[in-house]
A = this chain, B = another copy of it.
Amino acid sequence: MAQENIYTDPATKSMEELVALCKRRGFVFPASEIYGGINGFWDYGPLGTALKNNIRDWWWRQMVECPPIGPDGEPVEIVGLDSSIIQNPKTWEASGHVGGFSDPMVDCTETKKRYRQDHIEVLIVDDKGCWGFPENNIDYIAKKLKKANVSRDDGTVKNLTDIDTSEYEKIIAPDTDKPGTLTAPREFNLMFDSHAGAIKSDENKVYLRPETAQGIFLNYKNIVDTMRVKMPFGIAQVGKSFRNEVTPRNFIFRSREFEQMEMEWFCAPAESAKWYDFWKHERMRWWESLGVDKANLRFRDHDDDELAHYSKMCVDVEYKYPFTAPGYGELEGVAHRGCFDLTQHQEHSKTKMEYFDQAAQLAAKEAGKSKEEIAAASKYIPNVIEPASGLTRAVLVLLCEAYTPDPDRPAGVYMKFKPKFAPIKAAIFPLVNKDGMPEIATKLYHELRQKYVVQYDAKQSIGKRYARMDEAGTPFCFTIDGDTLNDNAVTVRDRDSGQALAERLPLDQVDAFLAAKIAE
């Protein structure tokens, strides 16, 4: 049945289970849960925070501290930044976010609810009527349409954006019974606004940044003037951004407060296509380094008609989320932004953003280029390639990727994180809480905690302890048992196989074993 395929995909069920596990094990909690929550905001619990920090640190290490080797065999140059969330509001006029950064919205005059125009789908049943419903809303389909004695198969479904406004009078809006209550679409700005300073006035209106990128463009000139960087180079930052999404959804996929990892790569215009290609493939390599299955990742080039006005080329790295499967959804965008941003800021701030490229000038002269060619190569506003990804979205991907049902285990599921990203690297168990075992286990724990995030657990049966570590995604459990007193070795329980390794591991090799696994 078509209805089942579209609206009750098995993926939805697994998302529900994942969200439940995230709450049960302290990965992600709904924000302000004791006050009934707040739509679009999430808190990261102890395990979720550790997972997020691990991904953040890996991105920072591979992007800023030890950036990749470029086409010339030398590491590319990238510096870090941490700019303010609130900036001078002129920033957002220059960037186009004041005015342009908005979604068309429709209001329902009956229920006073507001919807994103492109999130409403309309079921058109020739002579019976037109039912509007929030896209993919299973409840609506099941209850409301049934009540009206129509089914999805009776008609055709169109997105509201594909219906002429003059036809809106026929549409029965969600949660209403009569047609014609939807207004024509209006623009709604996605930036949160506030006021800085003691007086609330238009003059001191400020915005929470909707992207970290503009903080980088604001500091481009400062970095060039102070850090002795030479073209090409990058500026990277990790930080929170805010978008007042009308319909936050899909767990932490689309929330109103989220964390980004963005890098702006500045280069000579003539070199931009080469670097676009470099970063496109480099970013895919990075996602694979997280342990994400290649089969769940793909590139999707933007068509010309979906490119932002400033963008020359853009490719998304997409992931097969449970709620998009068998389709894919956005994970990271690698955009060729041309010289749009720096030119805008130059115009609005009257600060020269031109770069004098001594090396390119020399090369052009040596190549016998014309005067005009030499001038063009020597002085330019750089082009920008932007690999922009979501840190909180990366957390979601690793949670989805790790979630592995296994009915044979007590927990019924285990979280298969690559050791490098696992919130807890290892657990240390005395088999029983006596006979000298706790003493050895405690000693090992005290040693390992100096270098790794490890947990000591002596409570309940060993099976229950394994089950807890399966849900936390802890790759290894070291058990001190009766034999340890004689052979100075431990049992290593491997999370993925659910079995003990054949070989016992000498106590003095545990550190090296763990270090090697985490480095993988």
- Tell me the A362-400 residues at the B interface (CB within 8 Å): none
In the complex the two chains form, is B79's CB within 8 Å of A46's CB? Answer: yes
Expressed in whole angstroms, the minimum distance between the Cβ of A226 and any Cβ of chain B is 4
In the complex the two chains form, is B32's CB within 8 Å of A226's CB? Answer: no
Is A98 engaged at the interface, CB distance under 8 Å to the other chain? no
Interface string of A190-215 (1 = CB under 8 A from B): 00111111110000001010000001
Q: How far is the CA of A215 from the CA of B32 in the complex (A)?
A: 8
Q: How far is the CA of A275 from the CA of B81 in the complex (A)?
A: 38
- Return the contact of A218 from the options B34, B82, B84, B90 (Cβ within 8 A): B34
Expressed in whole angstroms, the minimum distance between the Cβ of A339 and any Cβ of chain B is 16
User: Are A88 and B37 also in contact (CB < 8 A) when A43-B219, A46-B81, A226-B26 are?
Assistant: yes
Q: How far is the CA of A196 from the CA of B90 in the complex (A)?
A: 22
In the complex the two chains form, is B87's CB within 8 Å of A197's CB? Answer: no
Residues of B within 8 A of A144 (CB): none
User: Are A33 and B450 also in contact (CB < 8 A) when A84-B43, A194-B194 are?
Assistant: no
Interface string of A7-49 (1 = CB under 8 A from B): 0000000000000000111100101111111111111111011
- Tell me the A460-502 residues at the B interface (CB within 8 Å): 468
Residues of B within 8 A of A85 (CB): 240, 257
In the complex the two chains form, is B35's CB within 8 Å of A349's CB? Answer: yes
Is A227 engaged at the interface, CB distance under 8 Å to the other chain? yes
In the complex the two chains form, is A86's CB within 8 Å of B226's CB? Answer: no
Is A292 engaged at the interface, CB distance under 8 Å to the other chain? no
Copies assembled:
2
Is A185 engaged at the interface, CB distance under 8 Å to the other chain? no
In the complex the two chains form, is B194's CB within 8 Å of A208's CB? Answer: yes
Q: How far is the CA of A199 from the CA of B192 in the complex (A)?
A: 12
Residues of B within 8 A of A80 (CB): 46, 49-50, 53
User: SS class of chain A's interface: helix, strand, loop or mixed?
Assistant: mixed
Residues of B within 8 A of A237 (CB): 49
Residues of B within 8 A of A91 (CB): 32, 35
- Tell me the A33-89 residues at the B interface (CB within 8 Å): 33-46, 48-50, 52-53, 60, 65-66, 75, 79-88
Residues of B within 8 A of A158 (CB): none
Residues of B within 8 A of A459 (CB): 228
In the complex the two chains form, is B44's CB within 8 Å of A90's CB? Answer: no
User: Are A215 and B35 also in contact (CB < 8 A) when A84-B257, A450-B66, A453-B65 are?
Assistant: no
User: Are A449 and B75 also in contact (CB < 8 A) when A114-B198, A226-B25 are?
Assistant: yes
Residues of B within 8 A of A227 (CB): 26, 45-46
CB nearest to A448 among chain B residues? B66
Is A246 engaged at the interface, CB distance under 8 Å to the other chain? yes
CB nearest to A457 among chain B residues? B228
Expressed in whole angstroms, the minimum distance between the Cβ of A450 and any Cβ of chain B is 6
Is A356 engaged at the interface, CB distance under 8 Å to the other chain? no
Q: How far is the CA of A246 from the CA of B197 in the complex (A)?
A: 6
Is A510 engaged at the interface, CB distance under 8 Å to the other chain? no
Is A336 engaged at the interface, CB distance under 8 Å to the other chain? no
Residues of B within 8 A of A256 (CB): 86, 196
- Return the contact of A192 from the options B41, B194, B215 (Cβ within 8 A): B194
Is A244 engaged at the interface, CB distance under 8 Å to the other chain? yes
